[in-house]
């Protein structure tokens, strides 16, 4: 049947009549969408102001931050500059706007630059707002940053959530190889990409819900300053951390960075938001005028906007009880009760759709995952989707998910082409396209190992590498040929089977992914830090904001300075390495010597870097195991290495941070064995403050894993120590099927134990059979 269809496909592709839709399938399929699938054509396409074409390639003057004052701006890129690479790339995310912003006439500004090798005549950049094309132009700015200005059609913007999509299509000028597709890129500059509103007051926040419209700055950071004038007198740490989490849940931004201060620094202007916390009296002293009506009781409101000043939220009351109640009021609409399930992990501020949570066996179609049906005429097709799994995921060693792919490729595609699947950047599956005559893949299963799955957000990338004779020849213009070669249909499915679930201590990736186990807490989590340690509190605020976002709810906290209070519970220790209480480091598997050896004085000495040559390394690299090619083939085919041959996990030695590390996050069980301690430490308080900013970056946060993760001095590179032996914590109601999967995973990680268990069971069975046979049937 497949052969027949493929033959039809070939016949169809060569017939002119069928050229429009060579991948037309059986009637039950939804019609194939064209490469530009978004349904609503822009009603006001004429309004799009394109730059005069001849000048397009001219470098455009950098857009200065100060433009005519009558204009309000809203930066659009959530995570700094955005690079869209490859032949076809697209990013979507949600942008929240205030009512005033939505009502105002708006213009889209976009600054970009592209690779020299991208052919302008066949490369395009498109911007969609709420599925309407707002800008659509050739990519033709290789020499410098070009800016695009396009009026947003009136009525298109909505108060609240708006969808934004940026899509590029690139073709190489001269080359037709797959390798060449990696040279294609367009970079969109965050600073020059924004909406400008004619209403200069559009950015004024009116109500608390406008917190959602908080925008990142040109670097993609969202800085929030919490000012609590009374914190020097009172112990307000727990309240501040609670407030930080509340703000985070409103402004679910990619890189939220908190700083805590006891006084307003009028010089500072880089914050996106300032929050004042304290009693009316204190705040009046600190900030001067307060809004009218603030004297009535609990209050959460914005200060009237004063020119270019930072939006300022006041959380206050007449007494401590009242401003605490104000925090509660602020939280009420966004918080989630502990123990309730989430449908999705919210990622919309940098990526839509939100990642669906997969708790057990689940089928997700590409349509649900945001990959539309589309056909493709290039060489390297790439699309990715995200999903999220709970923190007690325990199937990394044995599990296999499946992609059931509905796709097709034409007869032009040569055998040897392949479809590869990547999980979180690691290759997880590869399937050869072997038909010479093209084929229609109907729910073709591709097994995807779960080895690279991690708690929380996961990204799966499907990539098709398509080889054709046409590309081998690469005649002029061949790269731009529009004949589709490959199609993916949105009926394809990602199938997650039931997987083992049990909580593991320590597991930093679970903490990073879903805030585990803190995100489940109903009793306050102890935050242990030195008093008046502003860097410590800022770090705690960053950390808890991240955990709250990962967990989708606020974590109750109590601040303390003593270890004793935390012995029986989940706790987070923050401070300079010297300030971490005695005994805690050992508990989380960090060498106590680090208190002395890991100091600020010794800044990364030369020779410790990765470039240092080591004879041993070279020897290791040069020497092949005695098996030679056979051994190679064996380990390649079966993926067996010597360190996998073990009965039980080996104990790990205490970790000693190196001088190159700027920040250390380590996790272990508490002394009572019933909770988790996490330590965040730096050589000094200053470095803690710097490192804390690094931690606020969502990419860095996503790198947390194992039992220890360190952040290098560039605040970008991370190093992790894997968990050697974890303690297990029951996270699900006892069930046979779950235990079975848990045991399967443990045994798959401790291979020899399985063999031992099997042999022992067989010996017992043999003895039992022998006993049985000597009693049953005839004996002589």
Regarding 3 and contact with other proteins (CB under 8 A), the answer is yes
Identify the H or E element spanning 764: helix 751-773
CA distance 251 to 344: 17
Cβ partners under 8 Å of residue 55, min gap 6: none
Query: What residues between 629 and 688 interact with other proteins by CB under 8 A?
Result: 637-640, 644-645
What character string, x for contact with other proteins (CB under 8 A) and - otherwise, covers 711-750?
-----------------------------xx-xx--xx--
Regarding 307 and contact with other proteins (CB under 8 A), the answer is no
For residue 214, the minimal CB distance to other proteins (Å) is 45
Report the residue number, 109 or 380, with the smaller CB distance to other proteins: 380
The region of 54-62, 103-111, 305-313, 444-452 touching other proteins under the rule CB under 8 A is 444-452
Q: Is the peptide bond before 518 cis (omega within 30 degrees of 0)?
A: no
Q: Three-state secondary structure along 534-593? A: HHHHHHHHHHHHHHHHHHCCCCCEEEECCCHHHCCCCEEEEEEHHHCCCCHHHHCCECCC
For residue 747, the minimal CB distance to other proteins (Å) is 6
The region of 86-94, 95-103, 581-589, 765-773 touching other proteins under the rule CB under 8 A is 765-773
Please identify which residue in the block is written with the tokens 């017939």: 15
For residue 759, the minimal CB distance to other proteins (Å) is 6
Regarding 27 and contact with other proteins (CB under 8 A), the answer is no
Regarding 767 and contact with other proteins (CB under 8 A), the answer is yes
CA distance 551 to 565: 24
What character string, x for contact with other proteins (CB under 8 A) and - otherwise, covers 511-540?
------------------------------
Partner residues linked to 109 by β-bridges? 149, 194
Regarding 295 and contact with other proteins (CB under 8 A), the answer is no
Report the residue number, 426 or 755, with the smaller CB distance to other proteins: 755
Identify the H or E element spanning 742: helix 736-749
Enter the tokens of residue 627: 């098996």
Regarding 620 and contact with other proteins (CB under 8 A), the answer is no
CA distance 462 to 492: 11
What character string, x for contact with other proteins (CB under 8 A) and - otherwise, covers 377-416?
--------------------xxx----x----------xx
Q: Please give the size of the binding site for other proteins, defined by CB under 8 A.
A: 56
Report the residue number, 424 or 443, with the smaller CB distance to other proteins: 443
Report the residue number, 263 or 762, with the smaller CB distance to other proteins: 762
**CA angle, corner 517, sides to 513 and 522, nearest 5?**
125
Burial class of residue 163 in the structure, from the number of CB atoms within 10 Å of its CB (0-12 exposed, 13-18 middle, 19+ buried): middle
Burial class of residue 432 in the structure, from the number of CB atoms within 10 Å of its CB (0-12 exposed, 13-18 middle, 19+ buried): exposed
CA distance 780 to 771: 15
Report the residue number, 427 or 645, with the smaller CB distance to other proteins: 645
Enter the tokens of residue 459: 């990204």
SS3 751: helix
Q: Which of 131, 361, 434, 735 binds other proteins (CB under 8 A)?
A: 434
CA distance 384 to 116: 26
Regarding 492 and contact with other proteins (CB under 8 A), the answer is no
Q: Which of 57, 427, 586, 773 binds other proteins (CB under 8 A)?
A: 773
Regarding 427 and contact with other proteins (CB under 8 A), the answer is no
CA distance 260 to 231: 10
Regarding 762 and contact with other proteins (CB under 8 A), the answer is yes
Residue 211 CA: distances (Å) to CA of 78, 138, 184, 313 = 15, 36, 37, 9
The region of 251-259, 268-276, 385-393, 440-448 touching other proteins under the rule CB under 8 A is 440-448
CA distance 3 to 489: 20
Report the residue number, 3 or 206, with the smaller CB distance to other proteins: 3
Regarding 772 and contact with other proteins (CB under 8 A), the answer is yes
For residue 411, the minimal CB distance to other proteins (Å) is 15
Regarding 769 and contact with other proteins (CB under 8 A), the answer is yes
Q: Which of 11, 57, 263, 752 binds other proteins (CB under 8 A)?
A: 752
Query: What residues between 150 and 189 interact with other proteins by CB under 8 A?
Result: none
Residues in touch with other proteins (CB under 8 A): 1-3, 397-399, 404, 415-416, 432, 434-435, 442-445, 447, 637-640, 644-645, 740-741, 743-744, 747-748, 751-752, 754-755, 757-759, 761-780
């Amino acid at each position: 049947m497949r052969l027949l269809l493929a033959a039809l496909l070939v016949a169809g592709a060569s017939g002119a009549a069928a050229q429009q839709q060579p991948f037309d399938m059986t009637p039950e399929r939804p019609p194939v969408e064209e490469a530009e699938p978004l349904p609503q054509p822009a009603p006001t396409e004429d309004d799009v102001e394109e730059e005069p074409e001849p000048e397009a390639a001219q470098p455009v003057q950098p857009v200065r931050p100060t433009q005519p004052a009558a204009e309000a701006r809203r930066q659009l890129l959530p995570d700094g500059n955005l690079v869209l690479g490859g032949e076809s790339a697209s990013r979507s995310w949600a942008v929240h706007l205030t009512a005033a912003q939505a009502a105002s006439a708006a213009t889209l500004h976009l600054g970009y630059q592209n690779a020299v090798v991208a052919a302008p005549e066949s490369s395009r950049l498109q911007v969609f707002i709420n599925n309407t094309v707002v800008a659509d132009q050739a990519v033709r700015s290789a020499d410098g940053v070009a800016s695009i200005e396009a009026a947003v059609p009136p009525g298109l913007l909505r108060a609240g959530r708006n969808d934004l999509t940026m899509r590029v299509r690139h073709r190489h000028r001269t080359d037709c190889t797959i390798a060449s597709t990696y040279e294609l890129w367009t970079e969109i500059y965050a600073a020059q990409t924004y909406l400008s509103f004619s209403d200069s007051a559009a950015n004024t926040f009116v109500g608390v819900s406008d917190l959602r419209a908080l925008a990142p700055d040109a670097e993609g950071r969202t800085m929030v300053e919490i000012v609590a004038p009374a914190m020097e007198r009172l112990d307000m740490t727990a309240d501040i951390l609670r407030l930080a989490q509340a703000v985070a849940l409103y402004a679910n931004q990619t890189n939220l960075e908190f700083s805590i201060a006891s006084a307003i620094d009028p010089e500072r202007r880089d914050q996106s938001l300032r929050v004042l916390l304290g009693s009316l009296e204190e705040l009046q002293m600190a900030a001067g005028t307060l809004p009218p009506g603030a004297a009535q009781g609990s209050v959460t409101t914005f200060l009237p906007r004063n020119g270019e000043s930072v939006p300022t939220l006041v959380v206050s009351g007449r007494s401590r009880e009242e401003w605490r109640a104000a925090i509660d009021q602020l939280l009420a609409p966004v918080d989630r009760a502990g123990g309730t399930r989430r449908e999705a992990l919210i990622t919309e501020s940098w990526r839509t759709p939100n990642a669906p949570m997969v708790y057990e066996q689940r089928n997700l179609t590409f349509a649900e995952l945001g990959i539309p049906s589309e056909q493709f005429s290039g060489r390297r097709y790439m699309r990715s989707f995200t999903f999220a799994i709970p923190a007690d995921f325990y199937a990394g060693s044995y599990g296999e998910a499946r992609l059931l792919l509905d796709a097709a490729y034409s007869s032009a595609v040569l055998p040897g082409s392949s479809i590869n699947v990547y999980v979180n950047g690691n290759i997880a599956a590869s399937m050869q396209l072997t038909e010479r005559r093209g084929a229609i893949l109907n729910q073709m299963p591709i097994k995807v190992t779960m080895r690279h799955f991690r708690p929380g957000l996961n990204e799966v990338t499907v990539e098709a590498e398509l080889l054709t004779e046409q590309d081998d020849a690469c005649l002029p213009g061949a790269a731009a040929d529009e004949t589709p070669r490959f199609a993916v249909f949105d009926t394809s499915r990602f199938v997650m089977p039931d997987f083992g679930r049990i909580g593991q201590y320590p597991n930093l990736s679970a903490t990073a992914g879903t805030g585990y186990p803190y995100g489940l807490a109903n009793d306050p989590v102890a935050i242990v830090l030195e008093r008046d340690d502003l860097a410590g509190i800022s770090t705690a605020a960053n950390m808890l904001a991240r955990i709250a976002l990962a967990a989708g709810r606020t974590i109750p906290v109590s601040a303390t300075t003593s270890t004793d209070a935390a012995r029986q519970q989940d706790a987070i220790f923050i401070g300079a390495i010297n300030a971490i209480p005695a005994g805690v480091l050992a508990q989380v598997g960090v060498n106590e010597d680090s208190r002395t050896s890991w100091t600020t004085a010794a800044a990364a000495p030369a020779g410790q870097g990765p470039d240092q040559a080591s004879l041993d390394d070279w020897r290791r690299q040069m020497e092949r195991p005695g098996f030679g090619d056979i051994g190679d083939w064996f380990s390649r085919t079966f993926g067996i290495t010597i360190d996998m041959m073990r009965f039980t996990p080996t104990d790990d030695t205490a970790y000693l941070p190196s001088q190159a590390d700027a920040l250390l996050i380590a996790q272990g069980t508490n002394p009572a064995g019933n909770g988790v301690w996490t330590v965040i430490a730096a050589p000094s308080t200053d470095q803690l403050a710097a490192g804390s900013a690094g931690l606020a970056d969502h990419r860095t946060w996503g790198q947390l894993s194992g039992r220890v993760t360190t952040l290098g001095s560039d605040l970008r590179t991370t190093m992790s120590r894997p968990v050697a032996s974890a303690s297990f914590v029951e996270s699900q109601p006892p069930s046979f099927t779950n235990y079975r999967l848990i045991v399967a995973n443990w045994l798959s990680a401790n291979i020899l134990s399985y063999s031992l268990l099997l042999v022992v069971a067989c010996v017992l069975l043999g003895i039992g059979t022998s006993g049985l046979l000597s009693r049953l049937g005839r004996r002589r």
